[in-house]
Structures are given as structure tokens and as C-alpha cells.
Structure 1
């Protein structure tokens, strides 16, 4: 089998009997790995940590997030007043304790425009301290996981990496598929000093974790910068997302849920209603929280506080059990629920995607969900390491070690057609496939010219 190297072509012993189709698939598996493995290592490491975000935050920020259980809860208004007295500014949001030992959180917007997360003991009303809004260690890990630090470019790179991960799994399954006279399909042969050991470790690990990689890539796509935004717009415009009927005959603002703070994928662009009247006085945060409690909104919900005459009180909660997701908008004067939206009200696409996201985050099935995905993250890192070692042992001296083109170019064309189907589904990924194909063709011609 020929192998493209810098400035010349060489023959790799032992591969001459490989089929042209095998060569074509192997070539693109190599390219997919070259592009994806650095991302997979980062995603697996940060993802493994983020699975235990509540547990880690509770330890790292225990002085702010943990309290001793008391006998009676302080009034939300008292905690907000204490927070703004110690940290002057405008209270934007009040988050109720998720558990009896959790603190309450008040989001305060300061005069300079920066936001603080102020933590209060929900039993005594005492202020425990503050952090920059979204300033916990787990928010940092999440931003690393999504490459948010790099803005739109970073999010685009993650979208492309997820698409190539799907390609990596598909081509990997074909390469793994047992063939006559070959072992190592479900067992690891040899010893660590031998390449066959790393080949089998890579193949066996990949076949067991491949389905999880496909699931994680697919369920991560809804948050992607291009595909996720387009699918969100399609789902909600086609009534497969949040139900349009909830927005009928209700005064609406031009504000959207994602402007108020974190929300579910399906409701990012859902409009927020207006309060319908201008009574002498509003019901206040204490009465609003009492109404939300009476509606049995799950503990740990966040309340967006009205800061204009037409604003509403909005309670939103996205607990581990996706079926307990809830968004409730109250008229700030009458206390009447204007919109009460739960997971059961979503369309088919939104339900499927929200459930997938919940499992992706390790939430839906509790500790079992977390441990299963932790094992998957460790297996993904083992995949990356074994791929690197296997490549290094196979790579000819002074060569990148790109698997050779098939003798029958129609086999390569067939693989590219299959890849094009994925490129249509994920356009940003498709654009990267075209770019890689052009680079591959240009490099091949250049090496041949030099070899001649």
C-alpha cells in the first residue's frame, strides 16, 4: 500500500492486500481523527467534570452554596433588600433554594453594568457573599467545554468537530468489522510495546463507545451556532417546539426568554408576555413566590423580577427530570398566570431534543446517568491515546502517514458521496468536508509532481 509523505511515495509492507474500499474508508477515518481527536480529548475531560457540576460546586463554593437547615424561611423581599444593601444595584433575579441545605441566590446588576450572584441564607436572610454572575468553577468548565471563550468561531469549531465525530464513528465501524482471518474484533492481542495491542485496544474501545459518541454528538448539536439555531427556528415555526397556542390573545413584548437568563433549548426564542394592567401597586416578589409555590413549580426555580411597568414575573426551572421543566409568567399586578408552559406541552421535536440534552448533561437518570457517561468519557480519552500511539508506531519516518489513495478511484468517490449526505444534513460540516477534499486533492497532486 502506498503512503503519501513529504516529497515522495513509499510502500507500507503488509497492506498490499487491503481492498480499495478499505483504503478509501481508512483514509477518511484518518482525516476525521486528525481533526476530531484534539476536540474529543478536551470535550471528554471537561464533560466528565461537568457531569458532577452540582457536587463540585457544592464543595468548591460550600461557604456560599451550603447552609444548615432552619425552621422557617425568610421572605424573598428581605433577602433581596439585604443583598442590594450590601451590593448596591438593581435586583434582576431571585433563585429559590433547590434543596433544604441550599442557599438562595439574588442576581444584582451594578451601576457599571456588571452582574453579581449574591448568596443568602434562606432561613436567616443573612448574606453569605457573592461571585461574578456565572462565576462558579463549573461555569468556567462549561465555557471550556463549549469553547465559548473563542466566541462564534469556537462554537463553529465545536459544530464541525461533532459532525466529524459522526464520520469518525461510521468509518471506524467499517474498519473494525470482522473479516476472514482477522482477530481483535472483541479482544486485545499482543503487548503494549506492539502496534497490534494499540490497534485492538482502539478498535475494541471504539466499538463499545461508538454509539455513545454518536449520541453525544447528535444531542450536542442543538446548541451549535448554525445547525442548532436553524433547527430551533424550524421546530418552533412548525409547532414541533413550544406550542404557539400559548401565545394567543395575550399581550406580548419584544423580549425573549434567552434575554432574561438561562433557559431551555426549545424556549430560547420564546417571547415574554406583558403585564396587562397598571394597577396602583404590584403584587411584589413575596406574593409572586407564594403563587409559584402554590402552582407547585419545582424547587430551585429562578424568578425574573419586573423592572418596568409592563414586565412580568417569570419563574423558570430546568431540573434533572426533564418532565419537571416549567416556565410560568405572572401578571405583576394581578398575579394571574399568563403562560404556564411545561415539558408536556412541547411538540415532538422539542420533547426529543430536550430529553436528549438532559441525558447528555448526565441529568435524566441520576447517578447512573453520570457514572455511565463518566465511563464513556474515560473510554473516549483512551480512544484518543491509543489512536495517537498506533499512528506513531505505523508512521514511516519523516511522513505524516496518510493512508494511500485506492487504486480504483470510484471507491473513493463512493465514500465521498456518502459523506456528502452528512454534509447536507449539517451544512457547516459539509463545508469543512469540501475544504478537506480540496486540500487532499491539492496535496496529492503536489506530492506526485515532486515524485515525478
Structure 2
């Protein structure tokens, strides 16, 4: 008969609940770093296509005028003459060869050797440019579609052909880029005593650390500039610029004058055949607008109007809003008369369009675009060298609750950027649904 061993006596049951293991500072720091890395990873998946797209289209737009100068000098340059044809006659010459097209803008050059550019509505939503000799009033030719990179690159940069949904997608990309910069700065912050040496990549490190440093150091160098460019782009978007910024200006009494025709104040409508454009041109020149003038056809009370802006002026720039019926001045504003928010938006427009730094502007903005492409490439390489074989390499979900400071920061960011909040909510719901439909994935997560 087998001998049964006597069970060991049980310890007396305690009436005091066992305390959970203490959460150390190291655990909290590790969990916060994991959370930042997870957000940085998700942001990169959303942002890299946006950054590459906007960098390419923006750089193409910056240099498109120079390309047209080299490719079509017969359209861009004319032989100066003592007399100038009336601006109305120049626009009429463009309309005769393009009947049925509405005029959205006119660029009058201060250089007598330059042609006048009349921008008309084109096929499939892309604009068409007609070039007119300002001295003889004859059409030199026109460019549309792929032949006019200034038109299609600007349209693509602004969300064409999707319209407002395209602008929303670009705004979401800009918002997540801000989140990626903030989380990236936290991940980069030196915790190993390197201090200022963390600004320099460790070129002898090898492996994924080599690519990580090439990515992180350049990102830190350009972090403030990245956020600045994103902030200058947001006023152009249909949601943040058309709703959030407008509501904020109204609440604070910071509305821009209607004459200040920078985005997103006005939308083009098309000019009538009897516009007294020559009278408007004379008034603009008489009020000190000596540079290249952009006549933008707009909707403005008490009816259709024309906004005139000096494309090259800075600091003392003036804006005019003129009636398209009789050419009288409806409103005049100078940069110094703009309220603080409107002045910041106008400054951002100049920086974003590479006008603020004069002839160096396109080179500065191009260098910035190349830095963004560099960040995408090195970040992708660092991920590829580090990720497990056969897996996406997404960081695991944090196990602890959000710290209150992080909650407050996220709340401020979500209130400031509503589309960031909406897209983050959609991602969270998608993840919850994905885990709910696959219990095995829930255990793995």
C-alpha cells in the first residue's frame, strides 16, 4: 500500500491585503519612454508620406518660376517699349484666346522686360497661365496642365484634386508631425551624461544606433524650424485656418482687414469683362506699391472685389481692396496696421513662400525640405535595422496610466489641433476593435 505523504501545514490566512509592488521611478521613466516611442512610431507611419509629398511639391513650386524662365523665355520676357497697354486690354487679349475661362488672378511685373501673367481656370481644376506683352497688348502664349509647374505644384501642395478633404489630410499630417517632433525630442533627451555631445551623431557606433543618431541629431537641429513651418502652413488649411483661426480671431478681436488678401481670407471667383483694372493699377502704384502686384479676384462686401498685394514687399507692405464695378478703394491696410495674430499670419506666409529672406529664401526652404527627406530616410533605416525579423516592430502598449502632466499636455494639444484629436480617437477605436475581434492578438498585445 503506497504511503501518502502528509501535506505541509498551510500558513495562517492574513486579514491584511498584500501591497502591490511599488512602482519605482525607473519603472515610470521606462513606461513613459515606451509611450513616447509608441506615439513616435505611429506618427511616423502617418507622417512620412505627408512629409515626402509636401517637401517635393513645395520645392517644385519654389523653383517653378525659374524653370519657366529657362524653358519658355519667349513667354516670360518681352522687349520694353515707351508705352504700356491698358491692363484691361491685356486681360482681354488673354480672354479672347481662352473663351469661357474665368480669371482668378493677374500678376503685373514691375520689370518692364517681363510679361503680364493672367491666371485662368483650367481643366480638371488646374489653373492655366496666359502671358501677355504689357507694351503691345498681344498674347504671347499660354501654359496649362503639366506644362505649367507653378500651377500644378501649388495645387498638389494644397490638397488638389481632393478639395477640402485633401486639405484635411494635409492638416492631419501637419498635426501628427508636431506630435512626432515633441515625442522625438523626449526620446532624444540625453540621460547618459553626454549632455551637449548628444547633439553630435556617434558615427563609430555601427548598427541601428548609427542610423538612429543620424536621424535624431539632425531632427533636433531642425526641430524649431520644423514646428515653425508647420505653424505657418496651418493658416492655409480649410479646417484649422477657416474655422479654428477665424474663431480665435473673432473671439479676441484680432480680425484681419479684408484688404489683407493672404490665405485663407479670400477665394477666387473670376473677373467680369468690364473690370476697370487700369484704374486699379494706377491707384496701387500711387499708394506706394512698387513691386510685382498680384490682383486676386475675391468675394468681398459690398460685392465682388479685387485684392491687390505687393508680392516682393516686406515690412512696409500695403494691401488694397478695390470695387470691381468702379475701381474705388474699399479698404486699405498696411502691415503695421494689422493686429498681432494677422501680422503673425502674414509673416508666416512670407516665410513659407520663401519671400522673407529675399533671394536666399528659396535656397533656405530647399535646404529645409532636403533635411526633412533626410529624416525620413534615416528614420526608416534605423527602424529597419532594429525591428525583429518578420514583425512590424511596433513598440508594446504601456502598462501604466497616463501621468497627469502628460494628460494635461495632450489635452492642450488636442484642443489646439482638433483634427489631431479626431484622428487619434479613430486610431484608438481601430486598435480596440482590432484587439476585440482577435483575442489572440489581445494576449500578444
TM-score higher than 0.5 here? yes
Aligned CA distance change for structure 1 residues 417 and 317 (closer, same or farther; 3 Å): same
Give the Å deviation of 1:447.
4.8
What is the CA–CA distance in structure 2 between the aligned matches of 1:385 and 1:161, rounded to whole Å? 17
Note if contact 2:256-2:342 (Cα within 8 Å) is conserved in structure 1. yes
Counterpart in the other structure of 1:26: 37
Q: Pick from 222, 238, 248: which aligns with 2:235?
A: 222
The 5-angstrom pairing of residues 404-423 of structure 1 reads 404-407=396-399, 409-411=400-402, 415=406, 417-423=408-414
Shift of 1:148: 1.9
1:329 counterpart (322, 325, 334): 322
Is residue 44–residue 381 contact of structure 1 (8 Å, CA) maintained in 2? yes
Match of 1:46 in 2: 57
Alpha-carbon distance between aligned partners in 2 of 1:134 and 1:358, rounded to the nearest angstrom: 26
Distance 1:59 1:326, change over 3 A: farther
Aligned counterparts of 2:31 and 2:343: Cα–Cα separation in 1: 43
Q: 1:344 aligns with which of 336, 349, 352?
A: 336
Q: Does 1:164 align with 2:157?
A: no
Q: Which has the higher contact order (CA 8 A, sep 6+)?
A: 1
Partner of 1:124: 136
Local SS of the residue matching 1:160: helix
Task: Please report how far the alpha carbon of residue 197 of structure 1 lies from its aligned counterpart in structure 2 after TM superposition.
Answer: 1.0
Segments of 5+ residues of structure 1 without an aligned counterpart are 1-15, 247-256, 258-262, 272-281
Q: TM (normalized to structure 1)?
A: 0.77
For residues 173 and 82 of structure 1, do their structure 2 counterparts lie closer, same or farther at Cα, with a shift above 3 Å needed? closer
Aligned position for 2:22 = none
Correspondence 1:242 to 2:253: no
Correspondence for 2:116: 104
Aligned length: 405
Q: Deviations over 1:54-106 (max 9, x none)?
A: 32333344332222333332233443444444444588565422423321134
TM-score (norm 2): 0.78
CA gap 1:417/1:395 in 2 versus in 1, 3 angstroms? farther
Structure 2 residue runs without a partner (length 5+): 1-26
Alpha carbons of structure 1 residues 287 and 423: separation in structure 2 relative to 1, 3 Å: closer
1:143 aligns with 2:155: yes
- Paired residues of 1:80 and 1:91 also in contact (CA < 8 A): no
Tell me, in whole angstroms, the C-alpha distance in 2 between the residues paired with 1:94 and 1:157.
30
Based on CA coordinates, which of the two structures has the bigger radius of gyration?
2
- Structure 1 distance, partners of 2:322, 2:47, is 42
Structure 1 position 166, deviation (Å): 0.8
From 351, 375, 388, the equivalent of 1:396 is 388
RMSD of aligned residue pairs (Cα, Å): 3.7
Residue 262 of structure 2 is matched in structure 1 by: 264
1:40, distance to aligned residue in structure 2 (A): 0.9
- 2:74 paired residue number: 63
**Mapped contact 1:36–1:164 kept (Cα < 8 A):** yes
Which residue is equivalent to 1:7?
Answer: none
Distance 2:60 2:359 in 1: 14
How much does 1:331 deviate? 7.4
Measured in 2, the distance between the counterparts of 1:443 and 1:363 equals 47
2:218 to 200, 205, 209: 205
Distance in 1 of aligned mates of 2:127 and 2:386? 53
CA contact (8 A) 1:330 1:338 kept: yes
SS in 1 for 2:229: helix
